Structure 1
Amino acid sequence: MMKPVAERIATTAVFLANGLGIGAWAVEVPRIKEALSLSDTSLGVALFCFALGAIVAMPLAGRLAARFGSGRVTAFLGVAFVLALPLPALVPDFALLCAVLFALGAANGALDVSMNGHASAIEGEWQAPIMSSFHAAWSMGGLLGAAAGAALQANGIGTMGGLLLPDVVIGALILTSAVFALRDIGPRAVTSASGFTLPSAGVTKLAALAFLCMLVEGAVADWSAVFLRSALDTQASAAALGYSSFAFAMAACRVVGDVSVRRLGAGVVVASGGLIAALGLALVLGYPNVVTACVGFALVGIGLANIVPVIFSAAGRSTTTPAVGVSMAATAGYAGFLVGPPLIGLGAGFLGLRLALCALLLAALIVCLVGGKAVSRAGVEQAV
């Protein structure tokens, strides 16, 4: 059987393009906040609309991909993402910002599901674990997008240019991929898209694991610098080293993630990843200083790097078509990413931030204890 090389390259380009867009958007958030004179609370509400749009769209994207084909739907949603990305720079007030961020979040969330479902279908044809390579491309795109956005700002480019110029590159990547190689792979399941079906116990467990992993990721993104600044009484630039270490370690480990899965097995990667993340969190929370912050958060990035790709791959194998399983896991994961930061904030108000962050340690340990068996069972069910 011929491996779908062109389809893999095209789908990798879509992952890179999506990460590039999210990185460029993240850099522009402070300038949009300043331009519209938003309070922290108002900005939080607007960003919640982005996440809400994603959560609403993700299950729908899974059903669309199952019915019309993941390649075709990925191309369509990629174009929708390109059209939506510059919109936040155009809005004159808070209400319209919430509306366009809901639309951008919906486009991004739906694209996330369809491209992961398509990647899972390609992985099935490839007959080897390759999901981490797609997520590595997304992480690299995010780093490139953030770097490009910072460079554009340093050269006096406004918010519109900061979003539109990267968007031109994103559009070129997606359109080229769509024209040449975003072809449907594997069977379509029209019947699965025509009505509501409850997920199996195996998919539910995988979705719960995705929820826990991305809860940790979201909380680290929003609270690592706050914790380090309070614990170390240091400057914001030094406190940001923790998340920087986390992000770079995650991106680097995703590059070698497929090799790890092939050599060690998906179950070992998930179980050991949860343990490594837990050890990193224990180091940071137990002995907070600049060195342990860099090492500890890097360990968290190393541990979490390939768990979500493995979970998505397992979920894609556990349903009639990959996009359906991926949509369930991705929706749960995105919900975890959304609720993690406010849950930590709520816990910090009652227990203090350090004790509240211990919940992340517990989540990583649960992934370690339960995750390996869950993803291994998905592989067995595929083979039966």
Structure 2
Amino acid sequence: MSYSPRAAIAAAYFAQGCVFLSLTTRLPKFEDHWGISQLGLTLLMLMIVLLAGCGSLLAEKVAPRRGSAIVLRTGLLGIVVALIISSNAPNIPILAAGLAIYGGCLGMVDATTNMQAVSLEHQVKRTVLPSFHGAWTAGGIAGTLVTLALPHASIAVLSCGLALLPLVVGFARFLPGSGSAPNPEAAEGIPWRPILLVGAACVIFYTVDTASTTWGSVYFDHTLHAPSGLVALATLPYLVASLGARMAGDRLTDSIGATRLLSSGAAVAIVGLVVVVAAPSWPVGIVGFLVLGAGIAVVAPLSYSAAATLARGGGDLDPDTARARTDAVIARFNQFNYVGALIGSVLTGAIGTGSLRLGYAVPVLLLLALFPLAKVFDRDRLAAVSQQ
């Protein structure tokens, strides 16, 4: 296996995380620049989430036939266009148009980066999804640091500068796709019931993750009254802890198993989120987000890995059909991402209109469900189900 495709996949994750977090950590600036209310921001996030789901569905249809690499490149270049339009928008309708393009391309890139990652994981035959998702987190940290380092930079200058990243990555060398649709008979054997259980864990993760990355800066600004130049600190410790957990996730998964790792992580995440909700000041809030990130980070990559294992079945499929089938399943599985994002970004903002403390209290209850769901991730259980 050439190193180039692996580096290219990691770069795509990095670019996606950098652009997304640079956008969400600047939401307070969006409020001021375009005069948008918190409800208005909620509606814009709803639009992005819904269109991202459409972009993921498009990837499901196109990638198995044309290859995930082509769809990934298209999505990355579409993000470049979206950043240029939205950052230079003279009014809210043009801003909404640019963010709509971003939403669709976000879904395309989300789906296809995970398609590429699970294909490589199957080829190398060891856990690599957590570290790939760690590349996304590293990109998010970079995007957050840019916001912190350039608090007075104009939205247009910052966004156009960030657009160079997906532009360059879009021409990288990715894994080739199968170029053919999966056999309809093979698709009938996909075990959707266990995939739905794995997807439920993914929904919980993205509910918590999106609530943290989307509303963290607003929470620090409006509720915890952090200094204006430090509101992005809500997101940064969460991302730093997530990065550490994901970089260690490959080794920990192979050594102690996904079930034990998810159960212990859920307990840590609950403690962290309770600290966030009860935080009397922004320094305490930083500690809460730090603990939360360390606990919750590996849920998403392990969910995609488990879904891919279930999609491939017992290994009796030819390589092209297995890859095309997995691409289709991962694109559809990616919808769980947006269900969680919908709950995390939209409902957190809507419920927390009066106080985001209430909005952040909702995910605490969801985290409790990770304890029974963790059993589904047992490697022997996944292997047994996939062979049925």
Moved more, 288-297 or 118-127: 288-297
- Any idea what the Cα deviations from partners look like across 1:39-74, whole Å, max 9, x if unmatched? 333333223222221022112212321222222322
CA shift at 1:292, angstroms? 5.3
8 A Cα contact 1:62 1:324, kept in partner: yes
- Any idea what the Cα deviations from partners look like across 1:160-203, whole Å, max 9, x if unmatched? 2211122123312331x1xxx31325685444599999971011
Residues 16, 240 of structure 1: alpha-carbon distance in 2 compared, 3 angstrom cutoff? closer
Give 1:335-354 correspondences, 5 Å limit: 335-344=339-348
SS for the counterpart of 1:51 is helix
Equivalent of residue 196 in structure 2, options 189, 196, 204 = 204
8 A Cα contact 1:63 1:323, kept in partner: no
8 A Cα contact 2:216 2:232, kept in partner: yes
CA shift at 1:307, angstroms? 0.8
State the match for 2:311 in structure 1: 319
Residues 97, 223 of structure 1: alpha-carbon distance in 2 compared, 3 angstrom cutoff? closer
Equivalent of residue 164 in structure 1, options 139, 157, 160 = 160
Residues 193, 118 of structure 1: alpha-carbon distance in 2 compared, 3 angstrom cutoff? farther
RMSD: 3.4
SS for the counterpart of 2:97 is helix
CA shift at 1:103, angstroms? 1.2
8 A Cα contact 1:13 1:174, kept in partner: no
Confirm or deny that 1:306 pairs with 2:298: yes
Query: Percent identity over the alignment?
Result: 23
Moved more, 43-52 or 24-33: 24-33
Partner Cα separation in structure 2 for residue 353 and residue 168 of structure 1: 34
CA shift at 1:118, angstroms? 0.9
State the match for 1:53 in structure 2: 51
Q: What residue identity is the alignment partner of 1:75? A: R
- Any idea what the Cα deviations from partners look like across 1:23-49, whole Å, max 9, x if unmatched? 333355444443433333333322322
TM-score, normalized by length of structure 1? 0.84
State the match for 1:182 in structure 2: 174
Confirm or deny that 1:275 pairs with 2:273: no
Confirm or deny that 1:143 pairs with 2:115: no
Moved more, 78-87 or 226-235: 226-235
Equivalent of residue 334 in structure 2, options 327, 330, 343 = 330
State the match for 1:84 in structure 2: 82
CA shift at 1:362, angstroms? 2.1
State the match for 2:9 in structure 1: 11
Partner Cα separation in structure 2 for residue 202 and residue 153 of structure 1: 46
State the match for 1:63 in structure 2: 61
State the match for 1:373 in structure 2: 376
SS for the counterpart of 1:256 is helix
SS for the counterpart of 1:75 is helix
Moved more, 97-106 or 263-272: 263-272
Confirm or deny that 1:250 pairs with 2:242: yes
Residues 85, 194 of structure 1: alpha-carbon distance in 2 compared, 3 angstrom cutoff? farther
Paired residues in the alignment total 375
Partner Cα separation in structure 2 for residue 101 and residue 295 of structure 1: 32
Partner Cα separation in structure 2 for residue 273 and residue 74 of structure 1: 31
Moved more, 46-55 or 124-133: 46-55
8 A Cα contact 1:213 1:363, kept in partner: no
Q: What residue identity is the alignment partner of 2:109? A: L
Residues 166, 41 of structure 1: alpha-carbon distance in 2 compared, 3 angstrom cutoff? same
State the match for 2:364 in structure 1: 361
SS for the counterpart of 1:85 is helix
- Any idea what the Cα deviations from partners look like across 1:265-317, whole Å, max 9, x if unmatched? 22222222222212323455568566754443322111111110110111122
Q: What residue identity is the alignment partner of 1:38? A: I
Gaps of 5+ in 2: 313-324
Residues 33, 197 of structure 1: alpha-carbon distance in 2 compared, 3 angstrom cutoff? farther
State the match for 2:320 in structure 1: none
8 A Cα contact 1:54 1:110, kept in partner: yes
Residues 227, 42 of structure 1: alpha-carbon distance in 2 compared, 3 angstrom cutoff? closer
8 A Cα contact 1:91 1:97, kept in partner: yes
Moved more, 28-37 or 191-200: 191-200
